[in-house]
Amino acid sequence: MRADSKTEAAVIEVVNRYAEAFASRDVDATLAFLAPDPDVTFIGTGGDEKRIGLAEIRSLLERDFAQFDDASVEISSPAVSAAGSAAWVVADLTLRAKTRGREIYLQARFTVVLERRGDEWFIVQGHASLPAAGQEEGEAFPA
């Protein structure tokens, strides 16, 4: 169900502020957007990047932040849906960062599930993915 304009604006603001905190490599600010629940989950693009709970996510953020400088994260084309106190976002994510002496540019897909608690929205699940390498347009599987 498409979110109403108030919900959409609030949710997009949270997602954008989360992206800004991530780009600034601020662990505590990034974690502040996540629900303080034992099952809060984030799945990143690496094979080992599935983390459940704030302690595991903190560890992943600390590792990631140690590996890049001068990052920017742009969220674009967000589609926000909602039902009751839950909302979910599907968006494109562009990450630019300097790592190991080189500039990288990643075009990813980003999905986020949020829950409204009182007047605030918290991320309860996030997932970033990269399109499969070697998979040509119009093909169902990588070559």
| pLDDT for res 133 | 83
- pLDDT above 90: residue 64: yes
Shortest CA distance to 116 belongs to which of 89, 90, 84, 75?
Answer: 84
| pLDDT for res 128 | 97
Parse the chain into domains and list their residue ranges: 5-129
- pLDDT above 90: residue 143: no
Shortest CA distance to 95 belongs to which of 84, 79, 103, 106?
Answer: 106
Show the tokens assigned to 140.
């169902």
- pLDDT above 90: residue 57: yes
User: Which one-letter DSSP state was computed for residue 4?
Assistant: P
pLDDT digits (tens, 9 = 90+) for 8-41: 999 999 999 999 999 999 999 999 999 999 999 9
Determine whether domain 5-129 maps to CATH 3.10.450.50: yes
Residue with tokens 């996510």: 57
78 burial type by CB count under 10 A (0-12 exposed, 13-18 middle, 19+ buried): middle
pLDDT digits (tens, 9 = 90+) for 112-132: 999 999 999 999 999 999 988
- pLDDT above 90: residue 142: no
